[in-house]
Amino acid sequence: MTTATTAAHVTDRSQRRIAPADAADMLARWRSGALPTLALFDVRDARSYAQGHVEGAEHLSDAGFPAAARRLTKDTPVLIYCYHGNASRTWAQTFADFRFAEVWSVDGGYDALAAAITPLAGQGHAPCRAEAAGASLVAFLVEYGFDLDDLDAPRAHGLTPLMRAALVGRADLVDELVQLGVSVARRNMDGNNALWLACVGGSADAVCHLVAAGIDVDNRNDMGATCLMYCASAGKADTLALLLECGADPLLTNFDDARAADLAATRECLKLLRHTAR
């Protein structure tokens, strides 16, 4: 991957570089509660920070680093931006040297990140409520402690009601939630959407409902993995075949440059993906 200062098209985990769009999504998940914790640092000069910075960002300098490093737990995701994406890479390496497990430098710096955040900020809408929900759905929402006044609000592990319904194989509730207008674009703390949870739950009907609702079948999580890769690695041949029928791309690679075919755990899965093997 190029080391130019322009924004990268994709996130590169090996170099701790994150594309502005992925960084903006990470911030959106943090602000919604799907991602429980995040440290956001602005490493530009103090004057630039004072003139304008990303909401929630903390100014960080050499003098302030020791205190910041002591305050944060090592499993706190750290997101860093500078002017163009160069100095932030040095800072990312510094945090990594102090054994922080997940550290990202935003490619393109402040301007690129701010530009990526703007479209997401414009996607806000009135919360989807449970006023028209059936008795079964209401009971489900209460059982898992979801907010009846916001059906997109996440709970444990960043799961929304749609994700939880998909995970437990309740295709009827998935369909009802979609009809009520919940977002199929939400992602949990690991960057997975509801389709991943439907694949884990093994409900073909839930998968079909979500695909029909326009969910991203090629969503890549925070490790760069897609639903197709998960199904291949878990030996879920039936669901793998269904995803292929729904248009999932078998040529995508994760952050380790592996395709779904490279991850196939069974001969049946490999057979379905044999045309993509390298």
Is 226 contained in some domain? yes
Are 187 and 222 in the same domain? yes
pLDDT above 60 (res 9): no
Are 156 and 258 in the same domain? yes
What's the confidence (pLDDT) of residue 224?
92
Is 230 contained in some domain? yes
Cα distances from 177 to residues 32, 35, 92, in angstroms, run 19, 22, 40
Task: For residue 255, give its domain range.
Answer: 135-276
**Kind and range of the H or E run holding 66:** helix 65-71
pLDDT above 60 (res 266): yes
Q: HSE, CB side, 13 Å, CA atoms: give it for residue 102.
A: 16
From 82, 227, 231, 269, active-site residue: 82
What's the confidence (pLDDT) of residue 11?
73
Q: Can you give 223-245 as a three-state secondary structure string?
A: CCCCHHHHHHHCCCHHHHHHHHH
pLDDT above 70 (res 7): no
* CA 61 – CA 64 distance, rounded (Å): 5
Q: How many domains does the chain divide into?
A: 2
Are 225 and 262 in the same domain? yes
Is 63 contained in some domain? yes
Pick the more confident residue, 9 or 161.
161
* CA 18 – CA 116 distance, rounded (Å): 12
What is the C-alpha R_g of the chain? 20
Are 22 and 99 in the same domain? yes
Give the model confidence (pLDDT) of 79-123 as tens digits: 999 999 999 999 999 999 999 999 999 999 999 999 999 865 545
Calculate what percentage of the chain has a pLDDT beyond 90. Answer: 87
Are 258 and 141 in the same domain? yes
What's the confidence (pLDDT) of residue 122?
43
Q: Whole-model pTM?
A: 0.80
Are 78 and 170 in the same domain? no
Q: Quick one: average pLDDT of 265-274?
A: 97
Give the model confidence (pLDDT) of 155-214 as tens digits: 988 999 999 999 999 999 999 999 999 999 999 999 999 999 999 999 999 999 999 999
Known catalytic membership, residue 82: yes
What's the confidence (pLDDT) of residue 4?
37
Is 2 contained in some domain? no
Are 164 and 272 in the same domain? yes
Chain-wide mean pLDDT for the chain? 93
Are 109 and 149 in the same domain? no
What's the confidence (pLDDT) of residue 2?
34
Are 154 and 115 in the same domain? no
Q: Smallest Cα–Cα separation from 106: which of 23, 224, 44, 221?
A: 23
